[in-house]
Amino acid sequence: MPTARLANSVLGSFRASSFRPALWRQRCLYHSYEYSQPAPFPPAESAILSSAIAHVPNYGFTLDALKLGARDAGYLDVSTNLLPRGVFDLVNYHLVMQRLALKDSVQFPAEGGQGNGKKLGIGAKVRTLTLSRLRANEPIIHRWQEALAIMAQPSYISPSLAELAKLADEIWFLAGDTSVDTSWYTKRASLSTIYSATEVFMTQDKSKNFAETEQFLDARLEEVTKVGGFLQAFGEWADFTGHSAVNVLRSKGLRI
Amino acid sequence: MNAQIPRQLLRRQLLVGGKRRLAGDVSRGFSSSVRQTQQQTVPPKIPRDAPATTHFGFETVAEALKEQKVGAVFSSVASSYDTMNDLMSLGIHRLWKDHFVRNLNPGRNPLTSPPSSEQGWNILDIAGGTGDIAFRMLDHASTINNDAHTRVTVADINVDMLAEGKKRALQSPYARTPRLKFVEANAEKLDMIPDSSIDLYTVAFGIRNFTHKDAAIREAYRVLKPGGVFACLEFSKVNNPLFDAVYKRWSFSAIPLIGQLVASDRDSYQYLVESIEKFPSQTEFRDMIRKAGFLVPGQGWEDLTGGIAAIHKGVKPAK
Ligand SMILES: C[S@@+](CC[C@H](N)C(=O)[O-])C[C@H]1O[C@@H](n2cnc3c(N)ncnc32)[C@H](O)[C@@H]1O
């Protein structure tokens, strides 16, 4: 043991000279619209991944889609080595980009605005946002089981869950929930569970315009309201079934 | 002289059961020409940071000599080379090499790739000596990616290692096909390889022996096409202190002795062990790759078996 310690101190002189430029890190910016948002991926990765996503409907979340994306972006097949997690990086790109897109794809009428008169409660907003995020999977829904299988691989479970937590957080934030009490975790946990269950349901949904997925989501939200009595106490879920409100928004041309 | 004390102390403690020959005390492993120059120009100890010196294991030698000495080491271990790798990697270097190659996934699958003028990858395997990596690359391209065009150029500074590789090639389907080529070359100066001509540059267990690692990385950058990949498999720094201690004890004390038994060449093995110890840490090496202009994937490397070895990669930016 002392030998190793000595070796370390001798070698320390070499290591000390190392410098560490800040690693490109995707920052944990949940609530991005409050300040200007740095690009979520470095430029070369971004170029390859965004081109690759376009090939997912035809090729799935596969290495082939990645290679085609690399080619489209002016890179080579071998350049996919830039993505250390391979196809999981492609899945992750979709997850991150769709989470970040949420704030632009759903806009709620301004507080106290005219129109339908009744303003949406937090629960209804959560429902709307969740549905909107699910609908973002529509173009690739026939490939989503592949993605789920990739996310279920041992080394990707933890980053996938972390991304799911960020999505739940983003949805609560965009819905206007500002509470910082003990319900914080429960709310995020229950929304995460509901979201992933509905997402899986959606991969098998053959109904028109995913009507059954919508019903499935509503049923899950209802369960939480009934079972999780304490959530109800905060009244946040109470009005999620405000279908009327959603229909009003739809009539205003909102894609939800 | 003070600066030498810790090193000698270290050596005494690490080399359980066998004192090490000093530089002047010549081993039968080195060729006679090396022996002579060595005796004339290498005083037993030179401070390691003196200008024109470099590391030959823990011995500090004049730079011009390193190439020669490295040559001598590999000439003397060329044939028992696999045994050495087995010892240093606790028997798992073959798995690392498999992983290295599978992960790079060489080859262009004609069934799933859109038609294009290019067929297959152009791979350069530096310090490829025995052809170990090259055969794996070609096997992977052929069997996994149905690619009959991917080709590998094996480059090594040492003719004995190349001869060993050529001999083994005869047992493979690639001998005398345009898919496999052997060239004698120094990684620091690859004049025979044109700019921007290579898809994948690999170097496995080789770079720690180069006198100017940064020059070699710059050459890699030059010969790679935009978008091309530099990939390096090398012994590295064990992360877990306890495992590190155990591994060091194993590598410094046991291996040279076993080396002596299997190859009757203790000094060559001693050099190999020390050169591993001297190689930069994962982060330092990652930063060297970045400095040459490469983009690095993620954190820049992947540790294998707790850091006994690591794979570093860099991608040459397109445009
Ligand atoms: C430990 S062997 C690795 C062989 C093979 N790549 C493998 O993984 O089994 C190291 C090789 O590096 C070669 N080498 C050392 N210095 C070199 C240099 N400057 N340029 C090219 N090859 C070099 C040696 O001749 C030797 O064949």
Q: What would the two tokens of residue A122 be?
A: 């937090």
Q: Is B203 helix (H, G, I), strand (E, B) or coil?
A: strand
Q: What is the pLDDT of residue B162?
A: 93
In a domain, B6, yes or no: no
- Total residue length of chain A: 256
In a domain, B274, yes or no: no
Q: Distance (Å, rounded) from C-alpha B34 to C-alpha B68?
A: 7
| B211 CA: nearest ligand 1 atom | 19
Q: What is the pLDDT of residue A11?
A: 34
Query: Are B61 and B39 spatial neighbours (Cβ–Cβ below 8 Å)?
Result: no
B151 vs A31, more confident: B151
- Taken in order A140, A146, A150, A153, is the CA torsion positive or negative? positive
| pLDDT category of residue B236 using cuts at 50, 70 and 90 | confident
Q: How far is CA A104 from the centre of its chain?
A: 14
CA B81 – ligand 1 centroid, Å: 11
- Closest in B108, B280, B283 to A77, CB measured: B108
Query: Is B127 part of any known ligand binding site?
Result: no
Q: What is the pLDDT of residue A143?
A: 96
Query: Are A38 and B279 spatial neighbours (Cβ–Cβ below 8 Å)?
Result: no
- pLDDT of B267 > 90? The answer is no
Q: What is the pLDDT of residue B3?
A: 41
Q: Annotate chain A with three-state secondary structure.
A: CHHHHHHHHHHHHHHCCCCCCCCCCCCCCCCHHHCCCCCCCCHHHHHHHHHHHCCHHHHCCCHHHHHHHHHHCCCCHHHHHHCCCCHHHHHHHHHHHHHHHHHHHCCCCCCCCCCCCCCCCHHHHHHHHHHHHHHCCHHHHHHHHHHHHHHCCHHHHHHHHHHHHHHHHHHHHHCCCCCCCCHHHHHHHHHHHHHHHHHHHHHHCCCHHHHHHHHHHHHHHHHHHHHCHHHHHCCCCCCCCCHHHHHHHHHCCCCC
Whether residue B315 and residue A81 make contact (CB cut-off 8 A), yes or no, is: yes
Q: What would the two tokens of residue A78 be?
A: 């071998």
Reference B220, options B291, B115, B120; nearest CA is: B291
**What value does the mean pLDDT take over residues B259-287?**
80
Q: How far is CA A30 from the centre of its chain?
A: 10
Q: Distance (Å, rounded) from C-alpha B123 to C-alpha B128?
A: 11
Name the DSSP class of B189.
B
- pLDDT of B50 > 70? The answer is no
Q: Distance (Å, rounded) from C-alpha A47 to C-alpha B82?
A: 42
Query: Are A224 and A213 spatial neighbours (Cβ–Cβ below 8 Å)?
Result: no
Name the DSSP class of B176.
T
Beta carbon of B70 within 6 Å of any ligand 1 atom? yes
Averaged confidence pLDDT in chain A: 78
Whether residue B114 and residue A63 make contact (CB cut-off 8 A), yes or no, is: no
B79-104 pLDDT per residue, tens: 666 666 677 677 788 889 999 999 99
Q: Compute the nearest-CA separation of B33 from chain A (Å).
A: 32
Using a 10 angstrom Cβ sphere, with 0-12 exposed, 13-18 middle and 19 or more buried, the burial of residue A123 is buried
A235 vs B114, more confident: B114
Query: Is B82 part of any known ligand binding site?
Result: no
Q: Distance (Å, rounded) from C-alpha A53 to C-alpha B110?
A: 21
| pLDDT category of residue B78 using cuts at 50, 70 and 90 | low
Domain enclosing residue B215, as ranges: 90-238+279-315
Q: Distance (Å, rounded) from C-alpha A97 to C-alpha B40?
A: 65
Residue written as token pair 């000390």: A16
- Name the closest residue on chain B to residue A25, using Cα atoms: B298
First to last CA, chain B: 52
A168 vs B36, more confident: A168
Residues linked to residue B154 through DSSP beta bridges, in sequence order: B125, B182
**What value does the mean pLDDT take over residues B234-244?**
84
Q: Is A10 on the interface with B (CB under 8 A)?
A: yes
- Sketch the domain layout of chain A as residue ranges: 2-35+97-107+120-251
Q: Is B163 helix (H, G, I), strand (E, B) or coil?
A: helix
Name the DSSP class of B164.
H
Q: Compute the nearest-CA separation of A33 from chain B (Å).
A: 26
Q: What is the pLDDT of residue B182?
A: 96
Residues linked to residue B315 through DSSP beta bridges, in sequence order: B229, B295
Q: How many domains does chain B have?
A: 1
B48 vs A187, more confident: A187
Name the DSSP class of B40.
H
- Closest in B227, B245, B283 to A76, CB measured: B227
CA B74 – ligand 1 centroid, Å: 8
In a domain, B102, yes or no: yes
What does each C-alpha distance from B150 to A186, A249, B136, B187, B210 come to in angstroms? 54, 57, 12, 22, 27
Query: Are B110 and B96 spatial neighbours (Cβ–Cβ below 8 Å)?
Result: no
B189-227 pLDDT per residue, tens: 999 999 999 999 999 989 988 989 999 999 999 999 999
Counting residues of chain B whose pLDDT is more than 90, the rounded percentage is 46
Q: Compute the nearest-CA separation of A3 from chain B (Å).
A: 6
Beta carbon of B127 within 6 Å of any ligand 1 atom? yes
Averaged confidence pLDDT in chain B: 79
In a domain, B11, yes or no: no
A142 vs A249, more confident: A142
Q: Is A81 on the interface with B (CB under 8 A)?
A: yes
- Name the closest residue on chain A to residue B300, using Cα atoms: A84
Residues linked to residue B309 through DSSP beta bridges, in sequence order: B235, B304
Query: Is B130 part of any known ligand binding site?
Result: yes
CA B114 – ligand 1 centroid, Å: 36
- pLDDT of A234 > 70? The answer is no
